[in-house]
Amino acid sequence: MNLEVPDYVSRCLQLAILLEVSAYPKPGNVHRTRDFSDTRYEHFLASAVAVSPYFRKAAERGILYSSGNIDASEIGIGSLIRGSVEEILSWQHGGNTLLGTIILLIPMAVSAGATINTEKFFSQHVFRRNIGVVTKFTTPEDAVAVYEAIRKAKPGGLGKAPELDVHDPRSTTRILREKITLLEIFKIASRYDSVASEWVSNYRVTFEIGYPYIKRELSRHGDINIATVHTFLKILSEVPDTLIARKVGIEKAKEISLMAKHILELGGLLTGDGRRELDRFDRMLHDPEHLLNPGTTADLVSATLATLILSGYRP
């Protein structure tokens, strides 16, 4: 095994998390100039450091898979996600910081390890294809481990699922008895959760909306902060945030998406009108009860940045 590859992959994904949380003013989320009352910018920095061993482990599993030493079903995505959450919670006191991001980035770490191990140059086509394999061949045990991770993280706005609710102890029994895989559970959840939808669509938003847009933004002005904030607005404008939808309803989520679109039409951070409207938008979404926090959009931006950095970008 090439021991340098797992470390390289881990650094790429850590950098993606750090750039995402640092982007400002990223509306409605923690960023370098705005905190929540219970979760601060520093909690995300600590989380990015804490998760690094699990990104390395995930990349190592990808190398083992691509070398034929293990089957895809033996990768253990669920245990990697659970371990990541446990490590993050042990390193900071801000609660759940990265659950959705980890659910997206762990399969990407596995896929990156496999891709770099087999390709002379990093191929996005192979990378995305490998993500599809990693997510397809999950197991019931992976599903149970992710349920445990969710219960440990205690994410806000989770609500009660119509089927196989994570807080119902009977769900675990049913998953194991009926041999329901993690991907099958995410197919159910994809109706109301964009992170689950990414798994089911083989990361459609990441590869077909986020990545092309951030590349275009960087080619326009070369500023990674502006590009990240604008990509956040672009994704939010096209994909109503499902965390907001679960908390206050889909109509409010769609209204917020229209606001994001309007800010981009004003020029975003590149114009005075855009900057003023974006600052107002950020303050509006930072309501005390976090009902309007577009946290799922932040997860999708992290996956977009991970793709960008793995493809060779350096700030």
Q: Is the pLDDT of residue 108 over 90?
A: yes
CA distance 169 to 264: 45
Q: Is the pLDDT of residue 194 over 60?
A: yes
Q: Which segment of 124-133, 146-155, 165-174 scores lowest on mean pLDDT?
A: 165-174
Residue 65's SS3 state is helix
Q: What is the dihedral of CA 187, 190, 195, 199, to 10 degrees?
A: 30
One-letter amino acid for residue 289 of the chain? E
Closest CA relative to residue 87, chosen from 121, 55, 126, 123? 55
Structure confidence at residue 289 as a pLDDT band (50, 70, 90): confident
Count other C-beta atoms under 10 Å from residue 30's C-beta. 24
Both tokens assigned to 36: 């929540």
Q: Is the pLDDT of residue 139 over 60?
A: yes
CA distance 207 to 211: 5
What integer is the mean pLDDT of 39-59?
98
Closest CA relative to residue 101, chosen from 55, 136, 152, 65? 55
Q: Is the pLDDT of residue 168 over 90?
A: no
Residue 119's SS3 state is coil
DSSP state for residue 31 in the 8-state scheme: B
CA distance 117 to 127: 11
Q: Quickly list H helices, the chain.
A: 4-22, 41-50, 52-66, 77-91, 99-118, 124-136, 140-153, 169-178, 182-189, 194-200, 204, 211-221, 224-238, 242-248, 250-266, 272-285, 295-310
CB within 8 Å of 21: residues ≥ 6 apart: 29, 30, 31, 32, 41, 44, 45, 48, 298
Structure confidence at residue 3 as a pLDDT band (50, 70, 90): low
Q: Is the pLDDT of residue 1 over 60?
A: no
What integer is the mean pLDDT of 105-118?
97
Closest CA relative to residue 114, chosen from 65, 186, 180? 65
Residue 52's SS3 state is helix
Full-model pTM: 0.96
Q: Is the pLDDT of residue 79 over 80?
A: yes
Phi, psi of 27 (to 5 degrees): -60, 130
Residue whose entry in the numeric block shows the structure tokens 């397809």: 136
For residue 31, what are the β-bridge partners?
Answer: 34
CB within 8 Å of 186: residues ≥ 6 apart: 135, 196, 197, 199, 200
CA distance 88 to 105: 14
CA distance 105 to 127: 13
